[in-house]
Structures are given as structure tokens and as C-alpha cells.
Copies of this chain bind each other. A is one copy, B any other.
Amino acid sequence: MDIKAYLRERKLLIDSFMDGYYSTPYPPKVLRDSMVYSLSAGGKRIRPILCLASYEACGGRAEDAVPQASAIELIHTYSLIHDDLPAMDNDDLRRGKPTNHKVFGEAMAILAGDGLLTDAFCLLADRRYRRPVISDESIALCVNELAYAAGSQGMVGGQAQDLLAENSDPDPITLTFIHEHKTAALISASVRMGAILAGTRGEDLERLAVYGENIGLAFQVIDDILDVEGETEVLGKPKGSDERLNKLTYPRVFGMEESRRKAKQLIESSMAAVSSLDGRADPLREIARYMYERKS
């Protein structure tokens, strides 16, 4: 299959939906402008695409789960806005553009993040955006999954630990905690949500969960590697920006060779987890392969 075409088409579904979602103006204008600024700052939409691919692997039609998948991107975008704040990582650039608080000020950036995070759950549970094939039970389960992965025992906990670990000694346990919580939890939840929305429970859900955990961690390990290897122009952020903050990264703790080996092993584990699924899981397999080969 042509994975690049697949990613492009699914990204278009997500982008079109999100454009429409915030297209009707409501006051105050600057708050919506600030949210839309970061939402449309060129994200690859990998989390909602994984949700759609998982939904398709379970027999659903991608079009039917677009609003619920888009909710994940709202959460991801909020996390970037808050991570970039002066009190956090204090970043001026994100994907080659000024960060939200550089454009809209700190107060509005905090509120834009709060708004996106809250709106994500509003959208996820909104009946007007739900196809009849998706049940109330699936929505309730997805709200719980997404909030657990993003909350204090998930992404927020990972970001807190990340801040606490700055300038600390390289420590494999802390590093793994940060990566699993800050990045892998939301990616893994994206995959699980796709399956849950399709009504999948039990063993197949567990297989997809293992795929999600492995690909989620792989994503962050590869990101760490690219931060050392990559070029600023491709990444849209200064190369080595993690090093500047003395962040714990895989290359810093394990070295480059071991990090590459780890990434390869995680990708292989993710592929193995879904090996018993039929051809409808091909996009998931191809995304794993593509992620391993990605340059940005």
C-alpha cells in the first residue's frame, strides 16, 4: 500500500473537520484565534491518524470516527502550548513558527491551552458530531481512556517529572517514566480509542493496546535520536534543543547506538502485536515501518 497517500488522505479528513469545528466565530475573538493558530501550525496529525487506522483495522470506515479522533489532536495541541510557556520549557519556536505565547501573550496562551483541552472532551462526547454506529458506551470508555492518558497519571505527570528531572543525572528509570507518560500514553490511547469506537473489546483490543504502547515509546525514542541527528530546517526547532535544557533523552542516557537498537526493537514489537490481524491492519503496520524510517 501507498502509506504516504494514506497519511495524506487521513490528515486531510482531520484537518477539514477541525477547520469546520472552529469556523463559526464566538467571543472573545482573540481566544479562538490563539487556539486556531496552534491547531493549524503544521502538525502531522499522527495521533488522530493512528486512531483512524485502528478504527479501520477493527472494521470501521475512517469517515465515521473523524470528530472523535480530532479530539485527540486538540489535546496534543494544548500540551504543546503549555509545554512551551516561559514557566515550562520557555521555547520561542515550534515547527518553525513563533510559539503561542510569543504571539498572543502568556495569559492567552494558558487560556488557549485550557480551552483546547476542555473543548476536546466537549467534542468527543458531542452527539451532533457522532455517527449512529458509535455507541454511548464507547464514548464513555473513550473519555475515560483519553483523560487517563492525558491527566495527572499520564501526560501531565510525565511533563511534571520531565521538569523535575532537568539537570539531574542520567537515570534510565526516570527517563522511561517520562517517555512512557509524556508521549507514549497519549499515542497508545489514540490506538485504543480507535478500537473502542469500533466496538472492539477483549483480545483484539489488547493486541492493539500492545501495538500502541510500543509505537508510542518508539515515537519518542526516534524523536530523541532526531533531535541529535536532524537538521533544524527539517525539524522546525533548533537541533539539540533538548540538550540545551539538559533534558533526559535516550541518546544521553543510553548512547546513540543503543537508542537506535531500542527504536528498532519497539517497532518490531508493535508489528508483532498485530501480526494476527487481517489486511485491514495494514495501515497500522505501514505506519510503524514509516515511523522507523522517518526523518522528522
Contact = CB atoms under 8 A, between A and B. Distances in A.
A125 B140 contact: yes
Interface string A124-154: 1111000000011101110110111011110
B136 A122 contact: no
A35 B82 CA distance: 17
A157 B26 contact: yes
B115 A87 contact: no
Given A140-B139, A152-B119, A111 B147 contact: no
A253 interface: no
Contacts of A148: 122
A31 B132 CA distance: 40
Contacts of A139: 136, 140, 143
Interface stretch (A58-66, A91-99, A159-167, A242-250): A159-167
A183 to B, nearest CB: 16
B122 A164 contact: no
A163 B121 contact: no
Interface in A80-133: 82, 85, 87-88, 105-108, 110-111, 113-122, 124-127
Contact of A107 (B26, B30, B105, B163): B163
Interface string A198-235: 00000000000000000000000000000000000000
Contacts of A164: 28, 30
Interface string A253-295: 0000000000000000000000000000000000000000000
**Chain A binding site: helix, strand, loop or mixed by DSSP?**
helix
A167 to B, nearest CB: 14
Contacts of A117: 114, 117-118
Identical copies of this chain, number:
2
A107 B120 CA distance: 23
Interface string A26-39: 11101110010000
B160 A147 contact: no
26 contacts: A26-B152, A26-B153, A27-B157, A27-B177, A30-B164, A31-B152, A31-B160, A107-B163, A108-B160, A111-B159, A111-B163, A117-B118, A118-B147, A118-B152, A118-B156, A119-B151, A121-B121, A121-B147, A122-B147, A122-B148, A125-B141, A125-B144, A126-B144, A136-B136, A136-B137, A140-B140
Interface of A: 26-28, 30-32, 35, 82, 85, 87-88, 105-108, 110-111, 113-122, 124-127, 135-137, 139-141, 143-144, 146-148, 150-153, 156-157, 159-161, 163-164, 177
